[in-house]
């Protein structure tokens, strides 16, 4: 099979920098065990990735969404959970004798995940 060139892929992904990002992301997915959509033909993962993009068997939009998904960080705590923790902290009898500054420092430490000694 003929080698893939960048010109073959630029028709599908016009921006060469985006093409590199998407092909690299997909090559890593192939290395992690993603299904091959074209024959390997002794090609390495980046070449297989570019061939899949050039042949149109994988859409650039789907790759873009997948790449964005891997870069996003999801905070699993909801505002209700954070508010419940704050109320529990305020209701603790040990905190009744804390100064306002110590209480603010303790709340910030909980929010930032720090393990400061706050008493």
Q: Is residue 119 part of a domain?
A: no
- Is residue 28 located within the same domain as residue 48? yes
- Whether residue 70 contacts residue 27, with contact meaning beta carbons closer than 8 Å, is answered with no
Tokens for 12, please give them: 């599908």
Number of separate domains in the chain: 2
Given a cut of 50, the residues of the chain with pLDDT beneath it are: 1, 116-119
- Is residue 45 located within the same domain as residue 65? yes
Distance CA 37, CA 41 (A): 12
- Share the mean pLDDT of the chain: 83
- Is residue 55 located within the same domain as residue 18? yes
- Is residue 86 located within the same domain as residue 39? no
C-alpha closest to that of 13 among 30, 3, 26: 26
Distance CA 35, CA 90 (A): 52
Q: Is residue 117 part of a domain?
A: no
Distance CA 23, CA 65 (A): 13
State residue 118's pLDDT score: 45
- Is residue 15 located within the same domain as residue 62? yes
Reduced to 3 states (helix: H, G, I; strand: E, B; else coil), residue 77 is coil
Tell me the whole-structure pTM to 2 decimals. Answer: 0.60
Distance CA 92, CA 80 (A): 18
CATH of the domain at 31: 3.90.940.10
Domain containing residue 10: 6-71
Tokens for 47, please give them: 């070449």
């Amino acid at each position: 099979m003929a080698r893939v060139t960048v010109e073959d892929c630029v028709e599908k992904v016009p921006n060469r920098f985006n093409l590199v990002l998407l092909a690299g992301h997909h090559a890593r997915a192939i290395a992690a065990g993603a299904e091959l959509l074209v024959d390997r033909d002794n090609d390495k993962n980046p070449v297989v990735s570019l061939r899949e993009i050039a042949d149109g068997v994988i859409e650039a939009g789907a790759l873009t969404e997948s790449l964005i998904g891997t870069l996003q960080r999801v905070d699993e705590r909801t505002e209700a959970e954070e508010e419940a923790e704050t109320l529990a902290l305020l209701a603790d009898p040990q905190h009744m004798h804390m100064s306002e500054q110590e209480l603010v420092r303790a709340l910030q430490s909980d929010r930032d995940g720090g393990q400061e000694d706050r008493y």
